[in-house]
Structure 1
Amino acid sequence: MNLELLLAFVAFAFVTSITPGPNNMMLLASGVNFGLRRSVPHMLGISLGFMVLVICVGLGLGQLFAQFPALYSLLRYLGAAYLLYLAWKIAGSGAPDSASSERGKPFTFLQAAAFQWINPKAWVMAIGAITTYTPQENFLVNVLLIAGLFALVNCPSVGLWTVAGTLLRNWLRNATLLRLFNIGMALLLVASLYPILADIKGVL
Protein backbone atom coordinates (compact mmCIF):
# COMPACT_ATOMS: atom_id res chain seq x y z
CA MET A 1 0.00 0.00 0.00
CA ASN A 2 1.51 3.30 -1.09
CA LEU A 3 1.44 6.50 0.97
CA GLU A 4 -1.24 8.18 -1.15
CA LEU A 5 -3.65 5.26 -0.75
CA LEU A 6 -2.81 5.00 2.95
CA LEU A 7 -3.63 8.67 3.59
CA ALA A 8 -6.86 8.37 1.61
CA PHE A 9 -7.86 5.37 3.70
CA VAL A 10 -7.08 7.13 7.00
CA ALA A 11 -9.31 10.01 5.89
CA PHE A 12 -12.07 7.51 5.00
CA ALA A 13 -11.70 5.76 8.36
CA PHE A 14 -11.83 9.05 10.27
CA VAL A 15 -14.87 10.45 8.47
CA THR A 16 -16.87 7.23 8.68
CA SER A 17 -15.92 6.70 12.34
CA ILE A 18 -16.69 10.18 13.65
CA THR A 19 -19.92 10.89 11.77
CA PRO A 20 -23.22 10.06 13.50
CA GLY A 21 -24.33 6.45 13.49
CA PRO A 22 -25.70 3.84 15.91
CA ASN A 23 -22.38 3.39 17.75
CA ASN A 24 -21.80 7.11 18.28
CA MET A 25 -25.38 7.82 19.32
CA MET A 26 -25.17 5.05 21.93
CA LEU A 27 -21.79 6.26 23.19
CA LEU A 28 -23.06 9.82 23.56
CA ALA A 29 -25.98 8.50 25.60
CA SER A 30 -23.65 6.21 27.57
CA GLY A 31 -21.36 9.13 28.42
CA VAL A 32 -24.33 11.09 29.78
CA ASN A 33 -25.90 8.21 31.70
CA PHE A 34 -22.83 6.29 32.93
CA GLY A 35 -19.80 8.56 32.57
CA LEU A 36 -16.51 8.08 30.73
CA ARG A 37 -14.89 5.39 32.88
CA ARG A 38 -17.87 3.02 32.77
CA SER A 39 -18.19 3.54 29.00
CA VAL A 40 -14.57 2.59 28.16
CA PRO A 41 -15.37 -1.14 27.63
CA HIS A 42 -18.11 -0.07 25.21
CA MET A 43 -15.63 2.07 23.26
CA LEU A 44 -12.99 -0.67 23.09
CA GLY A 45 -15.58 -3.28 22.13
CA ILE A 46 -16.66 -1.15 19.17
CA SER A 47 -13.14 -0.64 17.84
CA LEU A 48 -11.81 -4.16 18.35
CA GLY A 49 -15.08 -5.82 17.35
CA PHE A 50 -15.12 -3.77 14.18
CA MET A 51 -11.49 -4.72 13.48
CA VAL A 52 -12.48 -8.41 13.60
CA LEU A 53 -15.41 -7.68 11.29
CA VAL A 54 -13.12 -6.00 8.74
CA ILE A 55 -10.75 -8.98 8.82
CA CYS A 56 -13.62 -11.41 8.31
CA VAL A 57 -14.98 -9.39 5.39
CA GLY A 58 -11.51 -9.32 3.88
CA LEU A 59 -11.18 -13.09 4.28
CA GLY A 60 -14.31 -13.75 2.25
CA LEU A 61 -17.40 -13.07 4.36
CA GLY A 62 -18.38 -10.29 1.98
CA GLN A 63 -18.37 -12.80 -0.88
CA LEU A 64 -20.73 -15.03 1.08
CA PHE A 65 -23.27 -12.24 1.32
CA ALA A 66 -22.81 -11.50 -2.39
CA GLN A 67 -23.77 -15.10 -3.16
CA PHE A 68 -26.64 -15.21 -0.65
CA PRO A 69 -28.26 -11.74 -0.55
CA ALA A 70 -31.13 -13.04 1.59
CA LEU A 71 -28.66 -13.79 4.39
CA TYR A 72 -27.41 -10.21 4.33
CA SER A 73 -30.98 -8.89 4.32
CA LEU A 74 -31.85 -11.08 7.32
CA LEU A 75 -28.83 -9.74 9.21
CA ARG A 76 -29.84 -6.15 8.45
CA TYR A 77 -33.40 -6.70 9.64
CA LEU A 78 -32.27 -8.38 12.84
CA GLY A 79 -29.91 -5.47 13.40
CA ALA A 80 -32.75 -3.00 12.84
CA ALA A 81 -34.97 -4.82 15.33
CA TYR A 82 -32.21 -4.84 17.95
CA LEU A 83 -31.49 -1.13 17.42
CA LEU A 84 -35.17 -0.35 17.96
CA TYR A 85 -34.96 -2.28 21.24
CA LEU A 86 -31.86 -0.29 22.25
CA ALA A 87 -33.61 2.97 21.36
CA TRP A 88 -36.46 1.96 23.68
CA LYS A 89 -33.99 1.24 26.49
CA ILE A 90 -32.20 4.58 25.99
CA ALA A 91 -35.49 6.49 25.97
CA GLY A 92 -36.37 4.95 29.34
CA SER A 93 -33.00 5.64 31.02
CA GLY A 94 -33.16 7.50 34.32
CA ALA A 95 -31.03 10.23 35.84
CA PRO A 96 -27.34 9.36 36.45
CA ASP A 97 -27.83 9.04 40.20
CA SER A 98 -31.30 7.55 40.17
CA ALA A 99 -32.35 4.01 41.00
CA SER A 100 -33.24 3.35 37.36
CA SER A 101 -29.72 4.36 36.32
CA GLU A 102 -28.21 2.02 38.89
CA ARG A 103 -30.29 -0.83 37.51
CA GLY A 104 -29.17 0.01 33.98
CA LYS A 105 -25.72 -0.94 32.80
CA PRO A 106 -23.53 0.32 29.95
CA PHE A 107 -22.58 -2.05 27.16
CA THR A 108 -19.86 -4.52 28.08
CA PHE A 109 -16.84 -5.09 25.83
CA LEU A 110 -18.31 -8.29 24.40
CA GLN A 111 -21.75 -6.79 23.87
CA ALA A 112 -20.28 -3.85 21.96
CA ALA A 113 -18.03 -6.12 19.90
CA ALA A 114 -20.91 -8.45 19.03
CA PHE A 115 -23.13 -5.51 18.13
CA GLN A 116 -20.86 -4.65 15.18
CA TRP A 117 -22.08 -7.77 13.39
CA ILE A 118 -25.64 -6.42 13.23
CA ASN A 119 -24.75 -2.74 12.86
CA PRO A 120 -25.66 -1.70 9.30
CA LYS A 121 -23.19 1.21 9.24
CA ALA A 122 -20.35 -1.07 10.38
CA TRP A 123 -20.98 -3.42 7.45
CA VAL A 124 -20.98 -0.56 4.95
CA MET A 125 -17.71 0.75 6.41
CA ALA A 126 -16.05 -2.69 6.44
CA ILE A 127 -17.05 -3.57 2.88
CA GLY A 128 -16.01 -0.12 1.66
CA ALA A 129 -12.61 -0.43 3.31
CA ILE A 130 -11.91 -3.83 1.75
CA THR A 131 -13.26 -3.19 -1.74
CA THR A 132 -11.88 0.35 -2.17
CA TYR A 133 -8.67 0.61 -0.17
CA THR A 134 -7.17 -2.89 -0.03
CA PRO A 135 -4.67 -3.70 -2.83
CA GLN A 136 -4.80 -7.27 -4.18
CA GLU A 137 -1.02 -7.70 -4.00
CA ASN A 138 -0.12 -9.13 -0.56
CA PHE A 139 -3.84 -9.09 0.10
CA LEU A 140 -3.82 -10.80 3.52
CA VAL A 141 -1.16 -8.44 4.86
CA ASN A 142 -3.09 -5.46 3.52
CA VAL A 143 -6.34 -6.71 5.09
CA LEU A 144 -4.65 -6.95 8.49
CA LEU A 145 -3.10 -3.50 7.99
CA ILE A 146 -6.44 -1.96 7.01
CA ALA A 147 -8.22 -3.59 9.97
CA GLY A 148 -5.55 -2.46 12.46
CA LEU A 149 -5.44 1.09 11.15
CA PHE A 150 -9.22 1.31 11.19
CA ALA A 151 -9.25 0.31 14.87
CA LEU A 152 -6.56 2.90 15.69
CA VAL A 153 -8.50 5.66 13.96
CA ASN A 154 -11.90 4.48 15.17
CA CYS A 155 -11.25 4.31 18.91
CA PRO A 156 -10.37 7.98 19.54
CA SER A 157 -13.05 9.05 17.04
CA VAL A 158 -15.88 7.26 18.82
CA GLY A 159 -14.29 8.23 22.13
CA LEU A 160 -14.99 11.88 21.35
CA TRP A 161 -18.71 11.11 21.44
CA THR A 162 -18.33 9.51 24.87
CA VAL A 163 -16.38 12.54 26.13
CA ALA A 164 -19.07 14.84 24.73
CA GLY A 165 -21.68 12.86 26.63
CA THR A 166 -19.61 13.05 29.81
CA LEU A 167 -19.31 16.83 29.46
CA LEU A 168 -23.08 17.07 29.05
CA ARG A 169 -23.59 14.91 32.14
CA ASN A 170 -23.37 17.82 34.61
CA TRP A 171 -25.78 19.89 32.52
CA LEU A 172 -28.38 17.15 32.54
CA ARG A 173 -28.75 16.54 36.26
CA ASN A 174 -32.32 17.74 35.96
CA ALA A 175 -34.44 14.64 35.49
CA THR A 176 -36.73 16.28 32.93
CA LEU A 177 -33.84 17.53 30.79
CA LEU A 178 -32.16 14.14 30.92
CA ARG A 179 -35.37 12.40 29.93
CA LEU A 180 -35.73 14.73 26.94
CA PHE A 181 -32.09 14.12 25.99
CA ASN A 182 -32.50 10.34 26.14
CA ILE A 183 -35.68 10.48 24.09
CA GLY A 184 -33.85 12.64 21.55
CA MET A 185 -30.99 10.11 21.37
CA ALA A 186 -33.47 7.28 20.94
CA LEU A 187 -35.16 9.12 18.06
CA LEU A 188 -31.80 9.78 16.39
CA LEU A 189 -30.94 6.11 16.73
CA VAL A 190 -34.21 5.20 15.05
CA ALA A 191 -33.56 7.82 12.35
CA SER A 192 -30.21 6.17 11.58
CA LEU A 193 -32.22 3.12 10.52
CA TYR A 194 -34.12 4.97 7.79
CA PRO A 195 -32.41 3.19 4.83
CA ILE A 196 -33.23 -0.24 6.28
CA LEU A 197 -36.77 0.66 7.28
CA ALA A 198 -37.34 2.09 3.79
CA ASP A 199 -36.13 -1.20 2.29
CA ILE A 200 -38.51 -3.16 4.50
CA LYS A 201 -41.42 -0.92 3.49
CA GLY A 202 -40.46 -1.38 -0.16
CA VAL A 203 -40.48 -5.16 0.23
CA LEU A 204 -43.85 -5.12 2.00
Structure 2
Amino acid sequence: MSTSLLLSMSSFALVASISPGPVNLLVLSTGARFGWRRAMPLVIGASAGFTLLLWLIGMGLSEIWMRLPWLRVLVQLAGVAFLLWLAWRLLASTAELEVDPSVQPAGAMTGAMMQWLNPKAWLASAAGMGIFVDAGNALGVTGYALLWGAICLLSISVWALMGGRMACWLTSRARQAWWNRALAILLVASALALLVG
Protein backbone atom coordinates (compact mmCIF):
# COMPACT_ATOMS: atom_id res chain seq x y z
CA MET A 1 0.00 0.00 0.00
CA SER A 2 1.42 3.36 -0.99
CA THR A 3 1.95 6.17 1.46
CA SER A 4 -0.38 8.48 -0.48
CA LEU A 5 -3.20 5.89 -0.36
CA LEU A 6 -2.69 5.38 3.37
CA LEU A 7 -2.75 9.16 3.88
CA SER A 8 -5.93 9.49 1.81
CA MET A 9 -7.63 6.67 3.71
CA SER A 10 -6.61 8.17 7.05
CA SER A 11 -7.73 11.67 6.07
CA PHE A 12 -11.13 10.42 4.94
CA ALA A 13 -11.56 8.47 8.20
CA LEU A 14 -10.44 11.42 10.33
CA VAL A 15 -12.81 13.92 8.72
CA ALA A 16 -15.73 11.49 8.96
CA SER A 17 -14.95 10.57 12.58
CA ILE A 18 -14.10 13.91 14.16
CA SER A 19 -16.79 16.06 12.55
CA PRO A 20 -19.78 16.90 14.77
CA GLY A 21 -22.57 14.38 14.81
CA PRO A 22 -24.93 12.66 17.22
CA VAL A 23 -22.36 10.25 18.65
CA ASN A 24 -19.80 12.99 19.20
CA LEU A 25 -22.42 15.24 20.83
CA LEU A 26 -23.43 12.48 23.24
CA VAL A 27 -19.77 11.82 24.07
CA LEU A 28 -19.19 15.56 24.63
CA SER A 29 -22.20 15.74 26.94
CA THR A 30 -21.16 12.62 28.84
CA GLY A 31 -17.61 13.92 29.24
CA ALA A 32 -18.90 17.26 30.56
CA ARG A 33 -21.27 15.65 33.03
CA PHE A 34 -19.24 12.66 34.24
CA GLY A 35 -15.65 13.41 33.20
CA TRP A 36 -13.71 12.02 30.27
CA ARG A 37 -12.72 8.79 32.02
CA ARG A 38 -16.33 7.79 32.66
CA ALA A 39 -17.15 8.66 29.04
CA MET A 40 -14.59 6.16 27.73
CA PRO A 41 -16.90 3.10 27.72
CA LEU A 42 -19.21 5.10 25.43
CA VAL A 43 -16.23 6.05 23.24
CA ILE A 44 -15.02 2.45 23.04
CA GLY A 45 -18.50 1.12 22.30
CA ALA A 46 -19.09 3.70 19.56
CA SER A 47 -15.71 2.96 18.00
CA ALA A 48 -16.15 -0.82 18.17
CA GLY A 49 -19.72 -0.59 16.84
CA PHE A 50 -18.61 1.55 13.94
CA THR A 51 -15.63 -0.69 13.15
CA LEU A 52 -17.86 -3.75 13.05
CA LEU A 53 -20.41 -1.95 10.87
CA LEU A 54 -17.65 -0.78 8.51
CA TRP A 55 -16.17 -4.28 8.27
CA LEU A 56 -19.56 -5.90 7.62
CA ILE A 57 -20.35 -3.33 4.94
CA GLY A 58 -17.01 -4.06 3.33
CA MET A 59 -17.75 -7.78 3.47
CA GLY A 60 -21.06 -7.41 1.63
CA LEU A 61 -23.66 -5.91 3.95
CA SER A 62 -23.77 -2.86 1.68
CA GLU A 63 -25.48 -5.02 -0.97
CA ILE A 64 -28.33 -5.73 1.42
CA TRP A 65 -28.42 -2.05 2.42
CA MET A 66 -28.77 -0.95 -1.21
CA ARG A 67 -31.28 -3.65 -2.22
CA LEU A 68 -33.68 -3.20 0.70
CA PRO A 69 -34.99 0.38 0.80
CA TRP A 70 -37.25 -0.47 3.72
CA LEU A 71 -34.15 -1.33 5.77
CA ARG A 72 -32.71 2.13 5.12
CA VAL A 73 -36.02 3.73 6.15
CA LEU A 74 -36.20 1.54 9.27
CA VAL A 75 -32.65 2.48 10.33
CA GLN A 76 -33.37 6.15 9.59
CA LEU A 77 -36.57 6.20 11.64
CA ALA A 78 -35.01 4.26 14.52
CA GLY A 79 -32.05 6.66 14.50
CA VAL A 80 -34.32 9.71 14.52
CA ALA A 81 -36.42 8.25 17.36
CA PHE A 82 -33.29 7.50 19.38
CA LEU A 83 -31.89 11.02 18.89
CA LEU A 84 -35.21 12.60 19.84
CA TRP A 85 -35.33 10.43 22.96
CA LEU A 86 -31.80 11.55 23.92
CA ALA A 87 -32.75 15.20 23.29
CA TRP A 88 -35.84 14.79 25.48
CA ARG A 89 -33.69 13.31 28.27
CA LEU A 90 -31.38 16.32 28.08
CA LEU A 91 -34.28 18.76 28.17
CA ALA A 92 -35.96 16.93 31.05
CA SER A 93 -32.80 16.64 33.12
CA THR A 94 -32.28 18.93 36.03
CA ALA A 95 -29.32 21.24 36.01
CA GLU A 96 -27.65 19.48 38.91
CA LEU A 97 -24.09 20.42 39.68
CA GLU A 98 -23.40 17.25 41.62
CA VAL A 99 -23.70 13.95 39.78
CA ASP A 100 -25.97 11.51 41.57
CA PRO A 101 -23.86 8.36 42.16
CA SER A 102 -26.82 6.19 41.13
CA VAL A 103 -26.91 7.85 37.68
CA GLN A 104 -24.67 6.07 35.22
CA PRO A 105 -23.28 7.59 32.01
CA ALA A 106 -24.23 6.15 28.65
CA GLY A 107 -22.18 3.02 28.09
CA ALA A 108 -20.62 0.92 25.38
CA MET A 109 -23.87 -0.59 24.11
CA THR A 110 -25.41 2.86 23.68
CA GLY A 111 -22.38 3.96 21.67
CA ALA A 112 -22.51 0.90 19.44
CA MET A 113 -26.27 1.20 18.98
CA MET A 114 -25.97 4.86 18.01
CA GLN A 115 -23.55 3.95 15.23
CA TRP A 116 -25.82 1.20 13.91
CA LEU A 117 -28.86 3.53 13.97
CA ASN A 118 -27.04 6.33 12.17
CA PRO A 119 -27.65 6.23 8.39
CA LYS A 120 -24.69 8.57 7.91
CA ALA A 121 -22.40 5.95 9.48
CA TRP A 122 -23.76 3.43 6.97
CA LEU A 123 -23.27 5.82 4.05
CA ALA A 124 -19.77 6.91 5.14
CA SER A 125 -18.79 3.26 5.55
CA ALA A 126 -20.11 2.32 2.12
CA ALA A 127 -18.41 5.36 0.55
CA GLY A 128 -15.07 4.69 2.25
CA MET A 129 -15.07 1.03 1.32
CA GLY A 130 -16.13 1.85 -2.23
CA ILE A 131 -13.39 4.42 -2.68
CA PHE A 132 -10.46 2.69 -1.02
CA VAL A 133 -10.98 -1.09 -1.05
CA ASP A 134 -11.48 -3.47 -3.97
CA ALA A 135 -14.65 -5.54 -3.74
CA GLY A 136 -14.00 -9.01 -2.38
CA ASN A 137 -10.62 -8.10 -0.87
CA ALA A 138 -11.08 -9.46 2.66
CA LEU A 139 -7.59 -8.43 3.76
CA GLY A 140 -8.10 -4.90 2.43
CA VAL A 141 -11.52 -4.64 4.10
CA THR A 142 -10.12 -5.82 7.42
CA GLY A 143 -7.09 -3.52 7.24
CA TYR A 144 -9.19 -0.48 6.37
CA ALA A 145 -11.74 -1.27 9.09
CA LEU A 146 -8.96 -1.53 11.69
CA LEU A 147 -7.31 1.69 10.48
CA TRP A 148 -10.59 3.61 10.53
CA GLY A 149 -11.53 2.04 13.87
CA ALA A 150 -8.32 3.31 15.47
CA ILE A 151 -8.84 6.79 14.01
CA CYS A 152 -12.46 6.71 15.16
CA LEU A 153 -11.38 5.81 18.70
CA LEU A 154 -8.91 8.70 18.83
CA SER A 155 -11.34 11.17 17.25
CA ILE A 156 -14.23 10.37 19.58
CA SER A 157 -11.82 10.45 22.54
CA VAL A 158 -11.08 14.08 21.66
CA TRP A 159 -14.79 14.85 22.14
CA ALA A 160 -14.74 13.15 25.56
CA LEU A 161 -11.68 15.21 26.55
CA MET A 162 -13.35 18.43 25.36
CA GLY A 163 -16.40 17.56 27.46
CA GLY A 164 -14.21 16.86 30.47
CA ARG A 165 -12.52 20.24 30.05
CA MET A 166 -15.90 21.98 29.82
CA ALA A 167 -16.93 20.60 33.21
CA CYS A 168 -15.13 23.46 34.98
CA TRP A 169 -17.17 25.98 32.95
CA LEU A 170 -20.42 24.22 33.84
CA THR A 171 -20.18 25.16 37.51
CA SER A 172 -23.51 26.98 37.76
CA ARG A 173 -27.05 25.73 37.38
CA ALA A 174 -27.75 28.34 34.71
CA ARG A 175 -24.80 27.24 32.57
CA GLN A 176 -25.69 23.57 33.04
CA ALA A 177 -29.31 24.23 31.99
CA TRP A 178 -28.12 26.23 28.95
CA TRP A 179 -25.70 23.45 28.03
CA ASN A 180 -28.40 20.77 28.25
CA ARG A 181 -30.77 22.85 26.09
CA ALA A 182 -28.08 23.61 23.50
CA LEU A 183 -27.12 19.94 23.18
CA ALA A 184 -30.78 18.92 22.97
CA ILE A 185 -31.32 21.41 20.14
CA LEU A 186 -28.24 20.08 18.32
CA LEU A 187 -29.52 16.50 18.68
CA VAL A 188 -32.93 17.51 17.31
CA ALA A 189 -31.15 19.24 14.40
CA SER A 190 -29.17 16.04 13.79
CA ALA A 191 -32.41 14.05 13.80
CA LEU A 192 -34.00 16.44 11.29
CA ALA A 193 -30.90 16.23 9.10
CA LEU A 194 -31.28 12.45 9.05
CA LEU A 195 -34.87 12.85 7.84
CA VAL A 196 -33.90 15.35 5.14
CA GLY A 197 -30.71 13.55 4.05
Counterparts of 2:29 and 2:58, CA distance in 1: 32
Counterparts of 1:166 and 1:95, CA distance in 2: 16
Gaps of 5+ in 2: none
Partner of 1:154: 152
Aligned length: 196
Partner of 2:45: 45
Deviations 1:144-197 (A, max 9, x none): 011100111111111111111111101111011101101101111111223333
Matching of residues 19-98 of structure 1 within 5 Å: 19-93=19-93, 94-98=95-99
Partner of 2:179: 181
From the two aligned structures, give the one with the greater helix fraction.
1
Q: Is the 8 A contact 1:92 1:179 kept in 2?
A: no
Counterparts of 1:145 and 1:83, CA distance in 2: 31
Counterparts of 1:108 and 1:198, CA distance in 2: 29
- The structural deviation recorded for 1:121 is 2.5
Partner of 2:128: 129
Identity over aligned residues, as a percent?
A: 33
Partner of 1:202: none
Q: Is the 8 A contact 1:31 1:39 kept in 2?
A: yes
Task: Please tell me the residue identity of whatever aligns with 2:71.
Answer: L
User: 4+ residue runs of structure 1 moved beyond 3 angstroms?
Assistant: none
Q: Is the 8 A contact 2:34 2:99 kept in 1?
A: no
- The structural deviation recorded for 1:198 is 2.8
The DSSP-based 3-state class of the residue aligned with 2:20 is: coil
Given the two structures, how large is their TM-score scaled by the length of structure 1?
A: 0.90
The DSSP-based 3-state class of the residue aligned with 1:193 is: helix
Q: Is the 8 A contact 2:79 2:119 kept in 1?
A: yes
Gaps of 5+ in 1: 200-204
Structure 1 window deviating more from structure 2 (19-28 vs 89-98): it is 89-98
Deviations 1:27-80 (A, max 9, x none): 111111111111110011111111000011111111002111111111111111
Task: Please tell me the residue identity of whatever aligns with 2:170.
Answer: L
- The structural deviation recorded for 1:96 is 4.3
Q: Is the 8 A contact 2:97 2:172 kept in 1?
A: no
CA RMSD of the aligned region, Å?
1.6
Task: Please tell me the residue identity of whatever aligns with 1:139.
Answer: N
Change (3 A) 1:96 1:144: farther
Partner of 2:169: 171
Given the two structures, how large is their TM-score scaled by the length of structure 2?
A: 0.93
